[in-house]
Amino acid sequence: MATLPPGFHALSLPIIQLSLAAVLKCGQSFRWNAYPLKITSPDASLPTHEYRFCLRDRVVCLRQTPTDILYRTVLPDPQPNMTERKLREAETLLWLKDYFQLDVDLALLYEQWGSRDKVFLRIRDRFTGIRMLRQDPWENLISFICSSNNNISRITKMVQSLAKEYSLPLLSIPLPDGSGVEETYYPFPPPSVLAKPGVSTRLRSLGFGYRAEFIHRTAKMLVDTHGTSTRPSQTSEPSELFLHTLRGMATEDARAELLKFVGVGRKVADCVLLMSLDKTDVVPVDTHVHQIAIKHYGMKGSTKGKTSMTPKLYEELCTKFVKVWGDHAGWAHSVLFTSDLKAFALHGLTEPQFTSPSPQKDRKRRIPDEDEMPSLLPTPPRTPFAYNPSPAEHVKKRARMRRTPE
Ligand SMILES: *[C@@H]1O[C@H](CO)[C@@H](O)[C@H](O)[C@H]1NC(C)=O
Ligand SMILES: *[C@@H]1O[C@H](CO)[C@@H](O)[C@H](O)[C@H]1NC(C)=O
């Protein structure tokens, strides 16, 4: 990278360790914005997109070259002095290393998965650099409550509208395409805000359906138990700190805590365990994953007609995948899952920019599974309460859902 764009710093990182284009759009986080850059010369060493994410106190902008991640910190006014600014930049770098878990050698994991699994060998060269993000547990929990019976584009709209509705705008900056158009960024709202009266009614009117009440009640449960702080808005609330402590718990105990929340069944809990609570071997399972296991991994079962997902079958599938992939089974699963998304049907097949893709030829090389339902997303409400511990709650939820057929 000869010259850096203004305000950016470079972090040396090959694309086999991290592909922003894949990782930020494959259904892990729903709050990254991707903007195409204005390309003036055909040069594969130049970034094609800028990705932006709004934290509580700053916006982080990223671009990727074959050798580097370029990062920039944007702070709200008033702009701090140089000393302060350097501190903030150092924090952003620490955040990046933590959020992308850069201490984990992904190339080594791909090698291990490839040597253990022929199915993985078939996809690994097209789907490089897909690693698990280490998300904020609170945002991750609420996002995956939204994800029940839902698809990526609609979950993205919901999560972004949640931020816009319940957070003050942090700052506005121009789009990176040189058009001069400004975009405003909103942080994810804290638990105390979503616990307030009226939230579920408002979210319903914004199209959240039955998830509106799940979100409100989960927030209220956290705030009632852990309280709210009077500290400045940048610092985490006690409820958020509590969710962070689940990282230090055994998987079973952390899962039991998550299952207490409203709208959280086994699958949502497992997504949160994997995506924000460091439980690398947890594989979120549904009937779709079951089908993959039957077709490619020698699990017994019928590929015709749906088998209902029981707790016993769920356990069997998890055990199976841990046996195949090892202690980062959840990470491997996310690569397979991404390869299965419709939006990624041509991923890794097209040439770099300025050559036109040939969809006709590409289509033949698509990998076999083309189901619409992404496997990391929770199962539709046919089965979502199979793991609910309390029968009374189970009945109440059913009643609520009947009122709002989705
Ligand atoms: C820079 O700003 C910080 C925080 O506002 C302040 O504590 C510090 O004294 C300032 N330093 C200089 C050199 O002005
Ligand atoms: C996602 O779901 C919405 C609402 O059910 C639907 O209108 C939309 O077409 C779906 N999008 C995709 C890409 O499947």
Nearest atom in ligand 1 to the alpha carbon of residue 82 is: 1
Note whether 86 and 161 are same-domain residues.
Answer: no
> Taking residues 309-323, what's their average pLDDT?
93
- Position 18 scores a pLDDT of 98
Q: What is the pLDDT of residues 213-229, one digit of tens each?
A: 999 999 999 999 998 87
298 is a domain residue: no
- 295 ligand 2 Cβ < 6 A: no
Instruction: Write down the pLDDT at residue 40.
Output: 80
Contact status, residue 133 vs residue 144, Cβ threshold 8 Å: no
How far apart are the C-alpha atoms of 305 and 117, rounded to whole Å?
Answer: 27
Residue that wins the pLDDT comparison between 94 and 178: 94
In a domain, residue 363? The reply is no
pLDDT of res. 305: 66
Confidence of residue 371 (pLDDT cuts 50, 70, 90): very low
Q: How many domains is the chain partitioned into structurally? A: 2
User: Which mutation among 25, 148, 150, 151 tests ligand 2's pocket best, with the greatest number of atoms within 8 A of CB?
Assistant: 151
Q: What per-residue confidence (pLDDT) applies to 375?
A: 44
- SS3 of 350-394: the string is CCCCCCCCCHHHHHHCCCCCCCCCCCCCCCCCCCCCCCCCCHHHH
Rounded distance, CA 240 to CA 16, Å? 33
Q: Are residues 148 and 61 in the same domain?
A: no
Judged by average pLDDT, the poorest of 188-197, 226-235, 259-268, 327-336 is 226-235
Going by alpha carbons, the residue nearest to atom 13 of ligand 2 is 153
**Residue 3 scores a pLDDT above 70:** yes
Query: Would the CB of 83 count as within 6 Å of ligand 1?
Result: yes
The tokens 């003036």 sit on which residue?
40
Does 43 lie in the same domain as 91?
A: yes
| Residues 84 and 159 grouped into a single domain | no
286-308 average pLDDT score: 82
Contact predicate 132/274, CB 8 Å:
yes
Asked whether residue 210 is domain-assigned, the answer is: yes
Are residues 258 and 157 part of one domain?
yes
Would you say residue 377 has pLDDT above 60? no
The residues annotated with a catalytic role in the active site are: 267
**Average of pLDDT values for 164-192?**
96
Atom of ligand 1 nearest to the CA of 83: 1
What's the CATH number where 165 sits? 1.10.340.30
Domain boundary among 279, 299, 331: 279
Report how far residue 9's alpha carbon sits from residue 255's, in angstroms, rounded to the nearest whole number.
38
Tell me the torsion sign for CA atoms 311, 316, 320, 323.
Answer: positive
pLDDT for 65-102, tens place per residue?
999 999 999 999 999 999 999 999 999 999 999 999 99
Ligand 2 atom nearest residue 372's Cα: 14
Are residues 137 and 195 located together in one domain of the fold?
yes
In this structure, which residue's CA is closest to atom 4 in ligand 2?
154
Query: Given 279, 307, 327, which residue is the final one in a domain?
Result: 279
Q: Match 């399972």 to its residue by tokens.
A: 285
Best residue among 75, 81, 87 to mutate for probing ligand 1's pocket (most ligand atoms within 8 Å of CB) is 81
Q: Ligand 1 mean position to 81 CA, how many Å?
A: 6
Q: How would residue 234 be classed by pLDDT, with cut points 50, 70 and 90? A: low
Is residue 150 located within the same domain as residue 267?
yes
pTM over 0.75: yes
User: Residue 404 above 60 pLDDT?
Assistant: no
Q: Does 81 sit in the ligand 1 pocket, CB within 6 Å?
A: yes
One domain, residues 148 and 65 = no
Say which CATH number the domain at 57 has: 3.30.310
CA triple 139-342-362, angle to 5 deg? 140
Give the number of the atom of ligand 1 that is nearest the alpha carbon of residue 80: 2
Ligand 1 geometric centre to CA of 230 (Å): 25
Domain coverage including residue 236: 133-170+185-279
Tell me which of 172-181, 208-217, 238-247, 377-386 is least confident: 377-386
Q: Are residues 89 and 150 in the same domain?
A: no
- Residue 144 is predicted with a pLDDT of 97
In a domain, 94, yes or no: yes
Quick check: helix, strand or coil at residue 105? coil
Between CA 179 and CA 174 the distance in angstroms is: 8
The answer on 161 and 271 residing in a single domain is yes
Domain presence at residue 328: no
**Distance from residue 300's CA to the centre of ligand 1 (Å):** 66
Structural contact between residues 32 and 26, judged by C-beta atoms closer than 8 angstroms: no
> 90 CA to middle of ligand 1, Å?
16
State the pLDDT at residue 231: 63
Distance from the alpha carbon of residue 82 to the mean position of ligand 1, in angstroms: 8
Is residue 229, in this structure, part of any structural domain at all?
Answer: yes
Same domain, 140 and 236: yes
In the predicted model, what is the mean pLDDT of the chain? 85
**pLDDT one-digit tens code per residue, 332-359:** 999 988 887 777 777 877 543 333 333 3
138 with 253, same domain: the answer is yes
